[in-house]
Chains A and B, each alone.
Chain A
Amino acid sequence: MSRSDAPAAPAPAAERFVADFTGDELGAVDEVRVSEKRSNLWLDAWRDLRGRWMFWASAAMILFIVFVALFPTAFTQVPPNDGCILSVQNQTQADELGVPIGTKISDHGPLPGHPLGFTKQGCDVFSRIVHGTSTSLSVGIIVSIMVAVIGIVIGAFAGFFGGWLDSVLMRFGDIVFAIPYVLAAVVVMSMFLHDRNIWVISLAIGAFSWPSTARILRSEVLRVKNSDFVMASTALGLSRVRTMLAHVLPNSIAPVIVVTTIGLAGAITAEATLSFLGVGLPNNIFMSWGNDISAAQTSLRTNPAALIYPSIALSLTVLAFIVMGEAVRDALDPRARASR
């Protein structure tokens, strides 16, 4: 089947076809057809978010967690630290708990008014979880904001101005990045043995986790700063700082928002990790999930509930923020929007 000789003769003369003129072929050239809906990146993202149940579920969850953190007493009247007893000593306590005198309360199971039982110290598990919410959440939010601010400032300057500033900032970031944050935080927290508080632990975690945010922002800035619209504003006479603030940053911030929401979950976990390792917040002043998980490990076999419930609270919170982060990321990414 050689085909080399197939089309020797010219193709049969094609007949001429002219479609009927319907009139709609000749609309005004490049007619302006704008939809009534205003739209831009953020508005489109919001429209997209509105339609996602994942967004609403995680938003409801987060709102609930914030509410718990702000008003813990709306959920439990039992103090988390005071009045913890190892065993029932007198009749008042016996009446309150509905158990005979001499009952061991440490690691005891649920009793009326104490739905999740007691810790080794005889404190109410449910109350500790509720009161621990604010610590865990505060640490998460403070760390996230800190990481976002440091990351944005360093990433923006490194990416936009480039040159030696870029090299210095990014190498500095690499050095920080190379230190495992747990190790670094352990060192920092050991320095503040006696005055540990939410700010100190947030600083200890945040100071070592900004390099990845800075890298992400820097790469976005590098992409955006080569856009024609940035060159156009330079040609207009905009100063470099103003170009960066007005045009480059707003167009490169989206991924940082996403990373930050996901990072919030990471910060809560980090606080729990540090508390678990015993270098977190003092557990007699600050209720925190990490503290409780850490304290409960010794009685894992006898009273697993004291470990499991705070872990569930931690997991659900982290899950809510990760789901929120994913939803926001998908909404901000036009490609992810289109493929849905």
Chain B
Amino acid sequence: MSEPLLSVRDLQVGFRTQGGFVDAVRGVSFDVHPGETLAIVGESGSGKSTTAMAIINLLASNGRITGGEVLFEGRDLAKVSRREMEDVRGRLIGLVPQDPMQSLNPVWRIGFQVEEAIRANGIATGKRDVRKRAVAVLREAGLSDADRRLGQFPHEFSGGMRQRVLIGIALSGDPKLVIADEPTSALDVTVQRRILDHLDTLTSQHGTAMILITHDLGLAAERAEKMIVMNRGRIVEAGPALEILRDPRHPYTKRLVAAAPSIASTRLESSAGSGAADSGASADGGIDLAIAARAARASREAAGPPAIEFRDVTKVFKLRKPSGIGSVDFTAVDQVSFQVPRGSTLALVGESGSGKSTAAKLLLQLEDKTSGTILVDGKDTDELSGRETFELRSRMQPVFQDPYGSLDPLRNIGNTIVEPLEVHRVGDRASRRARVLEVLDQVALPASVVTRYPNELSGGQRQRVAIARALALKPDVVVLDEAVSALDVLVQAQVLTLLADLQAELGLTYLFITHDLAVVRVIADRVVVMEKGRVVEQATVDEVFANPQQQYTRELLDAIPGRDLLV
């Protein structure tokens, strides 16, 4: 019993890059016992995925294991031949990949891909046996009507269903260990929960051990018995998952715990009275979201007409029929009404396809609404002249989700930020330059980035540049479309704190669009929950969290991982 299934000893992994040899994993050791779940937590670049990939030798072609041992049932996997490794993969160690959208071959039927895995692992031979086994795998993966499903193509499956198929494939060889690399990061929150529940059930039924790789401390603590926190290729803290979450000892872990929005939401009350500094930056240079949340709450709503008002706004898209002739109506936004008071934050929450981003585009005049009224500062946007619409754009700025896509890769940061000033003919060259430096300072970026290009900056920094560009024209309203969703926890906390500070300083109004209710708790004043284009619930943040009225809202709340762990 005490014999570990997998024992990693002093693992070292390096990558050959243009800048020389880079150590990605520097001396990592841990054990996984049969039937146990181990979570590896860390930011991107911490080496957590590299560690897992090194175990089954699926490193990128420029990476290799430079030292240490990977003992699986006493055999060192770092030294086995490619042939032997192929036998290990699938049959002894299964892999659930990160992105279900990319991990199935779109040109083959689901059945073919499941059967391929079954045949490759030698679980069954003979056409009929393989088929029978494939049906069993899908049924176990929780897909009803498995027979019919086998004949379908990946594009006919939703993200959650695809991940179920992939879990099924990973478990089809009845492996002793499953490596799940961020298995639900690409999925909607409620789907995420169901998939993880399912994975839990299956692994405990089969007695399979699991290595769960995640960036989310709450999720790790909820799903795993043991947890490893990694930072820059090293383990900084390891031990029972809950214990680490409740009592982080290493300064880095403390910082991670403080920055995690899912956990911060329950910390809110506990640290509210402790009276730390006004900004979100705490003494050790880390960021405590709870304090940031208080800063956000401190910005009071100003009087006057609401900055934004939606009245029964509807957007209908005409979709081409599969036959190519004629079109069908798709109502993306259905009779949506809400108000955002000046200087406050409204969070628009919902899963993908709920119409929240379309609502933002309608506000930004990037799409034309089908019916209804949108008022900005009490003025109907339909009644604005072309000139006034142009001016409206200067007072309402967007920040988009993808920090890699929202900046023109061929323009340096200075030119990117100055562009809105040029378009709106604000000031002369010298004053524009001064304004660029001013907004860069507001988002805490050094002036030296002016001549840099987006690919030299990290995701969080790009997002700060995008915020700086949005601020350049001194707007009243900033529309943040999933603006922090793609960022690592610490960086996310930093950007959230920045947003809260800027709001307090400049009196900005935020329309904050997100799928993540945990983030809402720390940044927003009011919440509008959307489902399938309709508003299902709207209330203040505290009301929604304390007393959700709708089943859908409750589901979203339950989907916040680790929410109940710190009570």
Residues on A close to B: CB < 8 A?
3-7, 9-19, 21, 24-26, 28-30, 32, 34-35, 38-42, 227-229, 231-238, 242, 247, 250-251, 339
Contact present for B449 and A34 (CB under 8 Å): yes
Contact present for B252 and A227 (CB under 8 Å): no
Contact present for B453 and A26 (CB under 8 Å): no
CB nearest neighbor in A for B400: A228
Known: A3-B207, A14-B240, A30-B460. A38 touches B452 (CB 8 A): yes
Chain B residues with CB below 8 A from A251, complex form = 408-410
Tell me, rounded to whole Å, the shortest Cβ–Cβ distance linking A41 to chain B.
Answer: 6
A245 to B490: give the CA distance in the assembly, Å.
Answer: 38
Chain B residues with CB below 8 A from A232, complex form = 398, 400, 406, 466, 469
Contact present for A25 and B455 (CB under 8 Å): no
Contact present for A237 and B424 (CB under 8 Å): yes
| 24 A-B pairs with C-beta separation under 8 A | A3-B206, A4-B205, A6-B34, A6-B207, A16-B240, A18-B236, A19-B234, A21-B251, A26-B255, A29-B494, A30-B490, A34-B448, A34-B457, A38-B453, A40-B455, A227-B405, A228-B405, A232-B466, A232-B469, A234-B366, A235-B366, A235-B396, A236-B424, A339-B61
Known: A14-B225, A14-B238, A229-B406. A24 touches B232 (CB 8 A): yes
Is B1 an interface residue when CB atoms closer than 8 A count as contact? yes
Tell me, rounded to whole Å, the shortest Cβ–Cβ distance linking A12 to chain B.
Answer: 6
A339 to B62: give the CA distance in the assembly, Å.
Answer: 9
**B456: contacting residue among A7, A11, A17, A34, CB under 8 A:** A34
Chain B residues with CB below 8 A from A14, complex form = 225-226, 238-240
Tell me, rounded to whole Å, the shortest Cβ–Cβ distance linking A330 to chain B.
Answer: 15
Is B21 an interface residue when CB atoms closer than 8 A count as contact? no
Tell me, rounded to whole Å, the shortest Cβ–Cβ distance linking B24 to chain A.
Answer: 16
CB-CB contacts below 8 Å: B218-241 with A: 225-226, 231-232, 234-240
Tell me, rounded to whole Å, the shortest Cβ–Cβ distance linking B366 to chain A.
Answer: 6
Contact present for B405 and A29 (CB under 8 Å): no
Tell me, rounded to whole Å, the shortest Cβ–Cβ distance linking A17 to chain B.
Answer: 4
Contact present for B419 and A233 (CB under 8 Å): yes
Contact present for A32 and B445 (CB under 8 Å): yes
Contact present for A25 and B449 (CB under 8 Å): no
Contact present for B2 and A12 (CB under 8 Å): yes
A15 to B226: give the CA distance in the assembly, Å.
Answer: 9
Residues on B close to A: CB < 8 A?
1-2, 33-36, 61, 174, 176, 205-207, 209, 225-226, 231-232, 234-240, 243-244, 249-252, 255, 284-287, 364-366, 390, 393-394, 396-398, 400-402, 405-412, 419-420, 423-424, 445-446, 448-449, 451-453, 455-458, 460-461, 466, 469, 490-491, 493-494
A231 to B401: give the CA distance in the assembly, Å.
Answer: 12
A119 to B45: give the CA distance in the assembly, Å.
Answer: 68
Contact present for B401 and A228 (CB under 8 Å): yes
A12 to B240: give the CA distance in the assembly, Å.
Answer: 10
CB nearest neighbor in A for B205: A4
Tell me, rounded to whole Å, the shortest Cβ–Cβ distance linking B259 to chain A.
Answer: 8
Chain B residues with CB below 8 A from A250, complex form = 408, 410
Tell me, rounded to whole Å, the shortest Cβ–Cβ distance linking A276 to chain B.
Answer: 43
Contact present for B398 and A7 (CB under 8 Å): no
Contact present for A25 and B445 (CB under 8 Å): no
Contact present for B456 and A39 (CB under 8 Å): yes
Contact present for B405 and A17 (CB under 8 Å): no
**B249: contacting residue among A5, A18, A24, A28, CB under 8 A:** A18
Contact present for B400 and A32 (CB under 8 Å): no
CB nearest neighbor in A for B409: A41
Task: Tell which of A5, A12, A19, A24 has the most Cβ of chain B within 10 Å.
Answer: A19
Known: A39-B456, A228-B406. A236 touches B33 (CB 8 A): no
Contact present for A32 and B461 (CB under 8 Å): yes
**B250: contacting residue among A18, A30, A236, CB under 8 A:** A18
Chain A residues with CB below 8 A from B251, complex form = 21, 25-26
